[in-house]
Amino acid sequence: MRVFGILIGVLLTAILVCTLSGCDQGGKGNAAPQAKVPPGVTPSLPAEGSIDLQGSLGRFQVPGKVETDLSDAVVAVPAETQVVLGDRKSRLKSRFPTGGTAEVRGKARLTLHTNGFFTDDGSFVSVFQGEQRKLLQVQIPTAILGIKGTTIAFQLNAGTGLIELMEGKVEVKPLTGSAFAMKAGDVLVVEPTGVRIRDSGPATPGSGGTGKGPGKDQTGPGSLDDGQIHFDDPQKR
């Protein structure tokens, strides 16, 4: 009987402790509340799923967070992070988890992806370094540019404008129509209805078009003067 009384006492004590600690029906205590990430602070992310970025004279915004100034410190951010570069001297370097980097200078509005970025507005030059078997991608409203090691000048406003391939090769995949190639010096005209190589009419699939870039003494698409991109008269497209 004495042992039985001790067992009852232990059981009653366990019930009291469980009640005070908030046990659920399964006999487990409530989980401790998770610490909240302060506004503007980027949470740590797995290396394989994040984009490393650093820069100056610009801001970035992680989805659901407040805007944060770019700096020389490398920050890991998720895909769909928005970046705004507001000065012609702005700089951004991004390293993508799929391999490769993009260095942007100038004014730009970008949405980062794990293999490149989307842009529809800006006046900037971007230098891309890709891995041998993996293409980086730049998405614009009417096409996707497949890129390895390349330098490209962009002049876009609300999704239309000009893109010049300054060096390297690029594969262009319009949202409608067949893919075609660009070679160094080609200028891509970006219109609401699609894209084409300038001075050649609609591009022939696989031909790369016959667009001509500016001569050595010209100030044409993609040429730089004190860091500013100068594109020629849009009426001459």
pLDDT in tens, 212-224: 333 333 333 344 3
Query: For residue 163, is it within any domain?
Result: yes
Does residue 37 lie in a domain region? no
13 within a domain of the structure (yes/no) = no
Which CATH number goes with the domain that contains 101? 2.60.120.1440
Model confidence pLDDT, tens digit, residues 164-216: 999 999 999 999 889 999 999 999 999 999 999 997 544 433 333 333 333 33
34 belongs to a structural domain: no
Range of the domain at 197: 50-226
Classify residue 195: in a domain, yes or no.
Answer: yes
In a domain, residue 235? The reply is: no
Alpha carbons 225 and 183: distance in angstroms, whole number: 23
188 in Cβ contact with 200 (< 8 Å): no
In a domain, 35, yes or no: no
Rg (CA), the chain: 27
- Distance (Å, whole) CA 208 – CA 212: 11
- How many domains would you assign to the chain? 1
For 62-95, give the DSSP string: -TTS--EE--SS-EEE-TT-EEEE-STT-EEEEE
Separation of CA 122 from chain center: 14
**pLDDT score at 210:** 36
Residue 4 located in a structural domain: no
